[in-house]
A and B are shown apart, each in its own frame.
Chain A
Amino acid sequence: MVSLRRPHVPRQPNSSSWSVMGRTSKDKRDVYYRLAKEEGWRARSAFKLLQLDEEFQLFSGVRRAVDLCAAPGSWSQVLSRKLGEDESPACIVAVDLQAMAPLPGVVQIQGDITKASTAQEIIGHFEGQPADLVVCDGAPDVTGLHDIDEYIQAQLLLAALNIAIHVLKPGGSFVAKIFRGRDVTLLYSQLRIFFPDVVCAKPRSSRNSSIEAFAVCRGFALPKGYVPSMLNPLLDHSYHGDFNQLEGPARVIVPFLACGDLSAYDSDRTYPLQLEGGSEYRYTPPTQPPISPPYQEACRLKKSGCLGRRTLQHETFFGAQEQGATSSSSSSSSSSSEDDDEDDQASEEQASDQDSDCTQDP
């Protein structure tokens, strides 16, 4: 539903030298951020999916794949580059609430993953065939209150699971971002209802300080008598009792794996700009800036000095408006980073950590 990636706050540097200074420090701080730009990925999260595939061979034999909460599109990029390398191209459908810059070989659906119609539309693009792989890297609009963020992330995962149940072929795979919070065991147990093989994996490109990991679920099998329905929110959300306390067969233990080759870059390490064995460093601008982020109007007003000044507007709505009329301008990438970025690394770091920074609840 909501997807969140790095907020590309538009910056207007005063001079070219400033921009070189300001931007290279981010390149040093986060090697994957820099490599993503150099390799043309829209976000550094592309490496997470690549490393997950390295570990689990998720892409082998996949003909039809779905990317949920796709914007800005880095996972769709990975799918389109990695799938169907033989003569017949794979069919990839990307779903998001917000608009996304087009990608060659990827069909886009701007829609809501809690709607049955979206599932129908996906299947429609596969000519009635079910999908081999469903991936979801969506994260909520992080509020900074960890309990809310974990709850919404869990709901997002369940919504993704629900639509996956509708579109996956038996034996298919499902990969989704998961926050390892208090109720994570409950989520695992719900995933296990549909997938005999559930692993929690943390790619090397996912930061150590981040609470995120990925649930890699394989061997999809619908339980006997289960009728998929989009009408009810999936499953029971009851969290009675502490699942972590359960013992015996009720306790679901999901293996936790760090993945990515040991030789892979360490996402927490700061690397010199001149990487060993790499070609000569040149600054690369971000691949794809965001399309109409929520803070766009506020930033425009601020730039023109009108923030807090001209606020009176008269708009009248007659009658009900259906959703979708406005969704073209909707985007949920977090606008938390204040755009008056100071020369304070802390604030920059916050911005760069947005896609994954939600540290463990105490």
Chain B
Amino acid sequence: MEPPVGKAQSLLLLAPVTALQCVGDRVLAGEGPNLLIYCLESGEQLVVTKCVPSVLSHYYIHGIRELQSPSSTKASETTVAVFGSKGLRVLTLSWGEKAESLTWMSQLCELHDWIWDLHWVQGPGKATLALALALGHNSVVLYDHIHQQILQEVHCEETCIIYSACLAGKDWQELVLVAGTVFNQLVIWHPADFTGEERRVKVERRISGHNGVIFSICYLESKGLLASASDDRSIRVWRVGDLRAPLSLVQCILVCYGHQSRVWAVQLLDNYIISIGEDSACIVWNYSGEIVQTFKGHKGRSIRAVTVHQTQAWMVTGGADSGIRLWPLRGNRLLGNSLLPLRFSSFTKKGSPKALTLVSSSWLLVMTDIGAVYLYDLTIKQWKFILDDINYQSYNLLDAVQLPGGSVICALGNLEGRIKIFPLHYPQEAKELKLYKGKVHGLSWVTRQPQDPLRHDSCCALFLSGPDGVLSWLDVSFCPLGKVDKVVERRRYVLPLCKQRWHTCLTFLPQGDFFVCGDRRGSLLLFPCGAATVKPSREERGGRESGSSTDGEESDHGSDRSLSPGEGAPVDLLYGIHGKQGVTSVTYHKGYVYSTGRDGSFQQLCVLGQQLRPLWKQKPCKGMDWVAGLSFAPDENLLVLGFHSTDFVVWSPRTHEKLHKVPCGGGHRSWGYTSTPATMVFAYIKAGDVMVYQAQEGGSSCQAVLKESLHGRELTCVRYVGSMKTQEGSNTTDILVTSSEDTTVNILAFVAASSTVFLLATINNHISSVRTLALCEANTNGGEAETGLRALLFSAGSRAEMQCYQLLVMPDLTTQAGLTCRVTHLISHRLDEHWDRQRNKHKVIKMNPETRYMSIVVVTSPQQSGFGLVLAAACSDGSVKLFLVDELARKLQLLAESFYHQRCVLKIQTFTYEAGTGTR
């Protein structure tokens, strides 16, 4: 990747953030051995203003301490000491309008032992400053950084290994050390207490209580409180009074259990206690020991560093995932989120709510089991009766749509195949039709980009599913006042044969020729809007069907062969792509179709000609088995709506957090969701009442991603895909892929000229850790016109799992990186797939080893050999396996395997032997 120069130079390091310190409006971060200075003035955007490489030579930075000196009057200048391992260095930072300048106040000072804490103190001469250092074997050193001299060194009688230390006091005389030992104790002693040459100071006080090693200690002088964080997953707060004075009484005032794993650090603020831990959570506690806020968002296992701005209004955390995030410290003044029952029964005693729909963020429509419709106005908080009709009791379907003019049209469907269409404000104007002999299974309004500007808001499409898979498209036209003018059945379609044969969701494609429909069977269907004249392309596409259907045994019933699209059959069908539980939504966004399903995933597709081409299926959130819909925020951030066991959850894949969580009881009840930039509303029916959850700040996150995360766990492999320019004359961007034990693969764009990196896509299809990657030229005869960097990516790892993707990196100047990456998932392969399909597998022990792929390599590519793509894999069961890949048919086949090694095979490489190709 680098041009061949004599010396390799590090351009960018993404490392765990091990130290953070707010200094004015700057944030200093220790990332590995590098010190980075970020500017926060621009609010949400963190700008790297300076990177100081290898501040402590090879030592990693573990702490940054600002000199709190009244003498430095300039607000734009500060002195900090940076330390880590056995090194420390002091520097002065000053900033003007734009640029920082940095002055070294000392050389790199190396000590003989590990530095756990550093504290600025008055030196022996009154005018001078010195550093007090707490060292690894419970000793304290008074250090002159300018002359690199140890002025004093005092040991404690307790010489055991310590895991944390905290120094307090203004000068040497009043200096006090609190050390966290491996005996789970806090040991307090005064270095100035030493007597004689032995320099062994007695421990003044030992505080016991923790059941594990102490990882962090914090002292808040103003309150006389000491806090400790431990391996036992608790935080304890101790009332100690003035540490410098002789201690009389130590009282444990709080024991806070809340972290799911070890607690790495604790900080005491005036009103809150902040802790960070190995569960990647940052918890804000109040002084009653209650959790006020829990911040989650960092990937992987640990938050390593936290710092609070001097205003104590917000804080910054740094993770082992190399990400940095900013959080507002709002305390109990939370957001204004509310969950309220609407007390339906207090308005009317007749009937109980059966179905609801949210028309807008202020209007909620509810239908009861006795066929009555009510409107609730969320702004004035009032119920209003709309109509009732005995024909629509017990079973009814309800949907409403707000027209661009503002008026609202409702539709009801019942058991006898009747539908009723009425404007919300003129319910007496209802039009009723009997469409079917049996019940109406599905009913949905679908808005459409106006084809004809003249018909702008006078017509709306209503789709209905009737018995035997009939899907009817009704055009409903309106008078200017919003009254229903005409209802015309435009076309009938037929859904593929299955048990639960009705549509669940529908969207028009903007070109206007087709619409995509999802059904209860989990299939996606492409229907023509007009009378189809084109022959189906099904036969031509042969092999693909079996690949895309998720369960083979039923796929034969998939298409109704007797029908042609002219008779209402779909022109394309992806049978059961979302499993048996059904498709929940289809959305069109920026050239792609997105569908969600109750299989816990969402699917990106594109429509090529008359084909629905699935690109990539993702499980957005662990444990969310029911994905209900997607929402694209104006800032292009994707939000996923779904049900996480019995909670409704709004998940942000970008920030990796649950924006909202409503304990609604699950997705089977009737519910509605709308969001605007200002507010988010979620309504549902529970226990005979209507509940409404309202939140300010619609879908925006409460955190700001100051620096994007990379991986949550150890990286296992990195590969170079290629280079490209985003536009003429711009810098070259290198495309890299990384894999990690966190089960994901990242596609990164790296701009060497600016040392910046952008995350283009994260692939999370692996069920276990990804250990190895391989790349190959992609087949280009897919008939697609897009130009860009194309590659075939293989990822493999634990549980004998291998995935194959086609990557297409294209310029897209609307994004930050100037590039987008389209991922097409081609193949998913597991050695023991037959095992997964076995029905009684929970009763039997699987005797086969669970092979890990340790290394994979492309042996031959079709471009080179004409033979086909052969992939070789080094496996943990001691074998080397060869696979044949058919990119077009989306198949991967085991060709041969050799158990020659009898040991875990770690690495595989190809080399050319005179007569052919050999491996390893």
Chain A interface (Cβ within 8 Å of chain B)?
1-2, 17-18, 20-21, 24-25, 28-29, 97, 112, 114, 141, 143-145, 147-148, 151-152, 155-156, 159, 182, 208, 231-233, 236-240, 266, 268-274, 281, 283, 292, 294-298, 301-302, 306-308, 311-318, 320-323, 325-327, 329-332, 334-340, 342-346, 349-350, 359
Contact = CB atoms under 8 A, between A and B. Distances in A.
A164 to B, nearest CB: 17
B262 A345 contact: no
Given A233-B159, A327-B183, A338-B260, A271 B136 contact: no
B349 interface: no
Interface residues of chain A: helix, strand, loop or mixed (majority): loop
B834 interface: no
Contact of A308 (B250, B257, B849): B257
B845 A283 contact: yes
A236 B213 CA distance: 25
B261 A18 contact: no
Contacts of A302: 260
Given A272-B848, A294-B232, A346-B713, A317 B260 contact: no
25 contacts: A18-B842, A20-B845, A112-B183, A143-B264, A147-B60, A151-B136, A239-B110, A266-B902, A270-B850, A271-B849, A272-B849, A273-B848, A281-B847, A294-B230, A306-B257, A311-B256, A314-B252, A318-B249, A321-B208, A330-B184, A332-B212, A336-B262, A340-B260, A349-B769, A359-B714
B847 A155 contact: no
Nearest to A357: B714
B852 A274 contact: no
Contacts of A238: 112
B637 interface: no
Contacts of A281: 845, 847
Given A29-B850, A266-B903, A272-B847, A145 B18 contact: yes
A295 B233 contact: yes
A326 B184 contact: yes
Interface in B196-254: 200, 203-209, 211-213, 215, 230-234, 249-254
A1 B846 CA distance: 41
A108 B519 CA distance: 68
Given A112-B160, A141-B231, A338-B261, A273 B209 contact: no
Given A20-B845, A269-B876, A302-B260, A344 B213 contact: no
Query: How big is chain B's contact interface, by range?
Result: 35 or more
Nearest to A274: B847
B86 A320 contact: no
Contacts of A334: 231, 262
A141 B716 CA distance: 24
A329 B798 CA distance: 37
Contacts of A331: 211-212
A147 B230 contact: no
B257 A301 contact: yes
Nearest to A346: B769
Contacts of A2: 161, 182, 213
Contacts of B59: 147
A24 B846 contact: yes
Contacts of A337: 261
B182 A295 contact: no
A317 B231 contact: no
A112 B845 CA distance: 44
Interface of B: 16, 18, 58-60, 62, 84-86, 110, 112-114, 136-137, 159-161, 163, 181-185, 200, 203-209, 211-213, 215, 230-234, 249-262, 264, 278-279, 283, 285, 288-291, 294, 301-302, 304, 320, 622, 713-714, 741-743, 767-769, 798-799, 841-843, 845-852, 876-878, 902-904, 906
Nearest to A298: B233
Given A298-B232, A314-B251, A316-B249, 11 more contacts: A24-B845, A208-B906, A232-B159, A268-B876, A273-B849, A283-B845, A294-B233, A295-B233, A308-B258, A323-B181, A343-B767
A313 B255 contact: yes
Contacts of B291: 308
Contacts of B304: 145
Contacts of A342: 622
Contacts of A311: 254-258, 285, 289-290
Contacts of B798: 345-346, 349
B768 A344 contact: yes
Nearest to B264: A143
B262 A335 contact: yes
B140 to A, nearest CB: 14
Nearest to B158: A323
B234 A298 contact: yes
B207 A317 contact: yes
A323 B185 contact: yes
A343 B302 CA distance: 20
